[in-house]
Every structure is written in structure tokens, then in C-alpha cells.
Amino acid sequence: MRTAALALAVLVLAPAARASEAPPPATSPTETPPTVVKAAPKPPGKFLVYTSFAFNVYTYLGAQGTSAATNLTPDNRAIVYQQLGFGYFPHPNLRLTLTFQFGETLTGLPNGASHYTLFAIVPWLVYTTHGFYTGAGPMLAPVSYAKAPNFDAGIYTATGYIFKLPKNLSLAPAVQLVLMLNQRVSFAVTPTVALAYRF
């Protein structure tokens, strides 16, 4: 009887012992998670085109001849500007820009005076980093004070921030500060907003 019980125990435990000694099943190659290689982001293009709209909030006009110095605001003279510009990035933080500016005076002009008051060419250098940008350059105006030819010249600056939009577009509010020196000393403060496309 004792021999039969021992034989029965051997028969029950032997398969379990063999199962514990068996090597684990090999992992199927299909179960290995695939390695995903992300493509490097495409670097931004080196060229840029933009258009902008600006509204003058303050202009100081120095004295000239019999005309006394005066301060212009939207209350006595509303002035707007449109710009078209082209840029090239020789360095990720530097942009060479050529801008064409058109100025219109909407109110406060003498009777019969042209509303088309300014055309200027602005070659300027822009420094940009993490959205912030600032730039400066000469402002050359073959049309000024509603007269052509009536050459004026000065210094143009603009400082603002670039908000990236889809499809390589961006929106950039800024403040332009312009000092003109040739025809009449003047200083203007003009907020602007630009829409740009980089490619």
C-alpha cells in the first residue's frame, strides 16, 4: 500500500518538475516593438516676404522757415502707412530686409493737397531671437510731404515680436520709430502689424 502511494506521488509530481525545468518559450520577433525614427524638422527657409499696416500715433515736426514746430496726433492729422518688404537670412538671427513704404494722410491736410504724402525705400538689418526682433537702417524718401520729387532722408527703426502661424506664416506687431532730417526734422511713433511668409 505504501509502495502504491509513493508511485502515485511520483507520477503526479514528475510532469510539474519537468515543466519548471523547461526553458521559457522564445519571444517571437514580431513581438519586439518597432523602433520609430523621427525625421529631423525641416530648417526654416532663408527668404521672407511681408506686408504691413501702420497707424501713426504721434509725430513731432520741427520748425521750418515761417512754420513753427508742431505736434501731430490722430486728433489733428490721421496718417497711415502700408509696407511691402523682402528679406533674406544670411544667419539664423540676422535678416537683410528691403522695404517699400507708402504713406497716406487721411485728415488734416490743406484743401487741394494730395493724400499720397510719402514713398520711401528702407534697406535695414534685423536681429531676431526667440520671436523678439529689432532692426534699423536708412530711410530714403524720394516723395515726401505730398511732393515729388522732394527727397527726404532719415533713420528707420522697428521693434516687435513674431507670432508663428501655420503654413510658414507669422504675425508681427511692432512699433516703428522714424527720425527724418533732410527736409524738416521730424520724429514719428507708429504702431504696426505685419503678416509675413517665410520660404
Residue 105 lies in a domain: yes
Residue 138 has pLDDT above 80, yes or no: yes
Lowest mean pLDDT among 6-15, 25-34, 166-175: 6-15
Average pLDDT, the chain: 88
94 CB neighbour count, 10 Å cutoff: 13
Give me the phi and psi of 42, to 5 degrees please: -70, 130
State pLDDT tens for residues 28-70. 556 666 777 777 778 889 999 999 999 999 999 999 888 899 9
Of residues 135 and 113, more confidence is placed in: 135
CB 177 within 8 A of CB 188: yes
State pLDDT tens for residues 147-161. 999 999 999 999 999
Residue 11 lies in a domain: no
| Residues 147-184 as b or e (16 or more Cβ within 10 Å = b) | eeeeebebbbbbebebeeeeeeebebebebebebeebb
Question: What's the predicted TM-score (pTM) here?
Answer: 0.78
CB 56 within 8 A of CB 79: yes
CA–CA gap between residue 115 and residue 108 (Å, rounded)? 10
Domain count, the chain: 1
Residue 197 has pLDDT above 90, yes or no: yes
Provide the domain limits for residue 68: 47-198
Please report the pLDDT score of residue 41 as a whole number.
Answer: 74
Domain with residue 115: its CATH number is: 2.40.160.20
